[in-house]
Every structure is written in C-alpha cells, then in structure tokens.
Amino acid sequence: MKIVKNIMSWVLPIVVGLLVAMVIRHFVFSMVRVDGPSMEPNLENNERVAVVKTAKIKHLSVIVFNAYHVDPDARYKSVKYVKRVIGMPGDTVKAQDGKIYVNGKAISQKYISQFERTQGTGSWDLYELSNRNSWTLKTTKVPKNSYFVLGDHRSVSNDSRYWGFVPADRVLGVVKVPIWDKGSTKRHNVNSIGY
C-alpha cells in the first residue's frame, strides 16, 4: 500500500498538470509558428507567437485562422494563416492608392511603410491592379460573421483580396507577440494597434 501511495504522490500531480495544460491550450491560448513572409516586417517567417483564444477581435488585430475552405489553394485541413483584420462584420472596405478606407474613413497604417502600403499583385473579383505601384479595392461590404483580412507585406500576401472573407468560426484567436520579444517594435505593431 505504501508503494502505491508513493507512486500516486508523484503521478497525480503530473496527470493534473497535463490536464490543466491541455485545457489552457484548447480554450485559452496556444503557440503557432509564422510560415512565410506575408506579415513582414512585423512578423517574420518561422517566428513563434502566442494565439489568445479569448481575446476580442477588433480593427487591425492580427489573427490566426484555419484557411482550409477559405483559401481555395489551402489543401490541408490543418493549414493556418496569420493576417491583419481590416474589416469587421458589417463594415465597408475600400482601398485606393495605398490608403484603406473602412466605413468611408482612411485608417492609419503606421505599422507598415508607404512602399508596403502601395504594393500588390494578382487579381480577384474585389481586387484590381490599378498600376504597378498601387492597388485598388472596389468598395465591398463585409458579411455578417466574417472578416476582411490583409497581410502586412501586401506584395506577397495571399489574403482577402484574392479569396474573400474569413468566416468568424474559422478564427482561432488573436496574435500576441511573446514578452521575450521586448526589443522589437513588433510588440507595438501587433499587440497594441487599433483605431
């Protein structure tokens, strides 16, 4: 009996700890790895960031979502994208000459340079290339329970300009740059932006 009690004294805390970790990971937050350059300069390829599942999504939040059945090119059920929310449900979004208008008002894009604001390639129904250095987004209304998202590195980002809106039920959470990334301006550009 003493042996069983002794074993349980160290097994039980391990099991409880694992259960608590699983609950936190499933309901509160998890870590993800950024894959690709679409969020540069604020998030870099292979950077690890926290995804807070309970955080409220607002304008200019950076979110992680499951892109399977959102982007037609996302062929795997586990593929996740990291993008910035530009339009919330019910908003009208328009872009012209490097400026983005939400509900008729130009939004601040201080998180990227002027060059990054005006670059873009490709075409989709909502998107038309107006010239080599700027893109134009026809005014569009974001449907209920959906988001319009863009990558910060517009010239390489595969985002709502191409495949449309992100359904709210595909969003996994809001990105927060870990505290160990203190020296970077990324903490401000990802964690604190709003308008």
DSSP state of 68: B
Sorted by sequence, the CB contacts under 8 Å of residue 129 that are 6+ apart come out as 120, 121, 122, 123, 135, 136
Predicted local confidence at residue 178, as pLDDT: 61
Res. 109: pLDDT tops 50: yes
Has residue 158 got a pLDDT over 80? Answer: yes
Residues in the chain: 195
Across residues 144-162, what is the average pLDDT? 90
pLDDT at 192 over 50: no
Tell me: pLDDT of 190 over 80: no
pLDDT value at 112 more than 80: yes
pLDDT digits (tens, 9 = 90+) for 52-72: 988 999 999 999 999 999 998
Is the distance from CB of 74 to CB of 80 less than 8 angstroms? no
The rounded mean pLDDT for the chain is 79
Question: Residue 85's pLDDT is what?
Answer: 96
> Is the pLDDT assigned to residue 82 strictly greater than 90?
yes
Active site residues: 38, 83
How much is the pLDDT for 129? Answer: 35
- pLDDT for the residue numbered 124: 37
Sorting pLDDT into bands at 50, 70 and 90, what band is 110?
confident
Q: In angstroms, what is the C-alpha Rg of the chain?
A: 20
Predicted local confidence at residue 26, as pLDDT: 63
Task: Please give the helix or strand (H or E) that residue 31 lies within, else none.
Answer: strand 29-33
The CATH T-level fold of domain 2-191 is Umud Fragment, subunit A (2.10.109)
C-alpha distance from residue 103 to each of 52, 65, 152 (Å): 27, 24, 20
Over residues 134-163, mean pLDDT: 85
Backbone angles phi, psi at 4, to 5 degrees: -65, -45
Specify the pairing of strand 146-150 against strand 99-102: unpaired
| pLDDT value for 68 | 93
Q: Nearest-5° angle of CA 120, CA 121, CA 126? A: 85
Closest CA to 153 of 51, 84, 79: 84
The pLDDT-based confidence of 141 (bands split at 50, 70, 90) is very high
The pTM is what? Answer: 0.76
Tell me: pLDDT of 123 over 50.
no
